[in-house]
Amino acid sequence: GSGGVALLPTDVTIGTQLAIAYSKEGRLFLVNTDTMGKFNAGGDNQIAQEFMVGQYTCSDTVTADVAEGPGWNRLYGTPAYWNGNIYAGASSVPLQQYHFENGLLNPTPFATSATAYGLRGGNSVVSANGTQNGIVWSYEKSTSGQGILHAYDATNIATELWNSNMNSGRDGLGEGIGFGTPVVAEGRVIVPYDTSVGVFGLLQ
pLDDT in tens, 49-105: 999 998 877 766 665 655 567 778 889 888 899 999 999 999 999 999 999 999 999
25 pLDDT above the threshold of 70: yes
pLDDT of residue 1: 64
In this prediction, residues 120-146 reach a mean pLDDT of: 95
Give the lowest-confidence range in 37-51, 64-78, 116-130.
Answer: 64-78
Q: Tell me the whole-structure pTM to 2 decimals.
A: 0.92
Query: Which DSSP string corresponds to 73-133?
Result: ----S--EEETTEEEEB-TTSEEEEEEEETTEE-SS-SEEEEEE--TT-EEEEEEEETTEE
Nearest to 93 by CA among 65, 69, 77, 63: 69
The one-character DSSP state at 33 is T
Stretch 139-164: mean pLDDT, rounded? 96
pLDDT band at 195 (very low <50, low <70, confident <90, very high): very high
Can you name the residues that pair with 96 across neighbouring β-strands? 88, 112
What pLDDT score was predicted for residue 66?
A: 59
